[in-house]
Amino acid sequence: MAMISATGTFDITSRPEPPFWSFDGVLLGRMEFDKVFHGSLTATSIVYMTYVRTPVESSAGYVAVEWVTGEIDGRSGSFAFLHNGVTTGGDLSLSVAIVPDSGTGELSGIRGSMAIENDAGEHSYTLQYEFTV
């Protein structure tokens, strides 16, 4: 069965915290985000992030867990994403995947992954998903 494609945009409100560790220009810190999704995904989420910054501006990383609650194509429930992003030479390599068996309600059994585009602060997404039986 082919994955279903859900697309739209989201808005972000961030709550940055100061770094909790630093050494020789390498910083670790936490951040939280609230997101509101529009489009095929009508939902809100909270993102819990830990980020890595380096003395080289174009080198960085972050990881996060995200809890999403709302509707996808009319089915309501919640699920979790894991984010793993590394920026090398300014190019972001990002994986955002649904945690296996994290779906609840009508989203029970959902699996898939999300691609995110950031066009000067305007975020759009493409969620590819399916349901396991």
Partner 1 sequence: MVHKKEKVMDRVARGEFFLDWNPEAPFDDAAGASLSRVTVTKSWSGDIVGSSVAHLLTAMSPVKGSAGYVAVERMDVTIEGRTGTFVLQHCATSAVRGDQVLTVTVVPDTGTEDLRGIVGRLAVTVQGRESPTDRGGRHLYEFTYGLP
Q: Which stretch binds partner 1 (CB under 8 A): 1-9, 33-41, 83-91, 119-127?
A: 83-91
H/E stretch holding 133 reads none
**Position 33: which residue type?**
F
Q: SS3 letters for 18-40?
A: CCCEEECCEEEEEEEEEEEEEEC
Using rule CB under 8 A, residue 10 touches partner 1: no
Q: Which residues pair with 80 in a beta bridge?
A: 67
Using rule CB under 8 A, residue 61 touches partner 1: yes
Distance of alpha carbon 73 from alpha carbon 99, whole angstroms: 19
Cβ of residue 71: shortest distance to partner 1, in angstroms?
15
Using rule CB under 8 A, residue 48 touches partner 1: yes
Q: Which of 9, 76, 104, 128 binds partner 1 (CB under 8 A)?
A: 104
Using rule CB under 8 A, residue 46 touches partner 1: yes
Instruction: Please state the separation of Cα 61 from the chain's center in Å.
Output: 14
H/E stretch holding 40 reads none
Q: Which stretch binds partner 1 (CB under 8 A): 10-18, 36-44, 84-92, 120-128?
A: 84-92
Tokens, residue 78? 């919640």
Distance of alpha carbon 60 from alpha carbon 31, whole angstroms: 15
Cβ of residue 132: shortest distance to partner 1, in angstroms?
7
Binding positions for partner 1, rule: CB under 8 A: 21, 23-24, 26, 28, 46, 48, 50-52, 54-56, 59-61, 63-65, 67, 69, 77-80, 82-84, 86-89, 95, 97, 99-105, 132
